[in-house]
Amino acid sequence: MKASTIIALGVVLSTSLWANPHTMPSKTYDSIVKTGNEVATNLIQTLGKNLKQHLKSEDPLGAATFCSTQALALTDSVTAQYGKNISVKRISLKARNPVNAAQGSEKVIMEALQNLHSNGVILPKYIVERVDATTAKYYKPLRITKEVCLKCHGNIAENTKLSALLKQTYPNDKATGYTMGDLRGAIVVTISQ
């Protein structure tokens, strides 16, 4: 056998081995979790800090304007801190911004998490999806744990100005009607090696 054939075979074999998520070495898994935790915490803190500031100085209407104009840019700024192999975003089955709608395997995973949650299971702090030989996705389920979230994701009909603004910006807004404890979505950190 020619050397190049052996190398090619080796690549195919190791690729297929890695593609099986259950053969992932625990060291690789641990490093994915470590990075995922770090990046997700960074995003939560970045968005949380900014939201708090705007809610302090403005009413929910002003803060909602901040969310709609800045949330994605702030999310991208967190991604930019980590180089090209890492990216972070928020997803939901009931998204306000269609850009954040869970897609493909993300949707399957969110539906599974929602199903567990609806059946009274306390969700794990994170889960890991092996996407392919070199890519993994770390998911951090996000629940409504603070009353403040309900200002813009609860029963917002009573705040007519806010619901008009949200309707105008997001004609297909699905992210209302939540109550405390509900599963709102997840933070997804995509990590390639």
Binding site for ligand HEC (CB under 6 A): 51, 60, 63-64, 67-68, 71-72, 90, 92, 95-97, 100, 142, 144, 146, 148-149, 151-153, 175, 184-185
> In the bound complex, what is the minimum distance in angstroms from residue 90's beta carbon to ligand HEC?
4
For 73, 98, 124, the CA distances from 103, given in Å and listed in that order, are 20, 10, 21
3-class state of residue 7 by DSSP: helix
Count the neighbouring beta carbons within 10 Å of the beta carbon of residue 159: 18
For residue 19, which amino acid is it? A
Query: To the nearest whole angstrom, how small is the minimum distance from the Cβ of residue 2 to ligand HEC?
Result: 52
- Our CB check for ligand HEC shows the closer of 146 and 161 to be 146
If the CB atoms of residues 90 and 130 are measured against ligand HEC, the closer one turns out to be 90
Q: Which is nearer to ligand HEC, 179 or 192 (CB)?
A: 179
Q: 165 vs 191, which CB is nearer to ligand HEC?
A: 165
Q: What is the largest CA-CA distance in the chain?
A: 74
Packing angle between helix 160-169 and helix 60-80, nearest 10 degrees?
Answer: 40
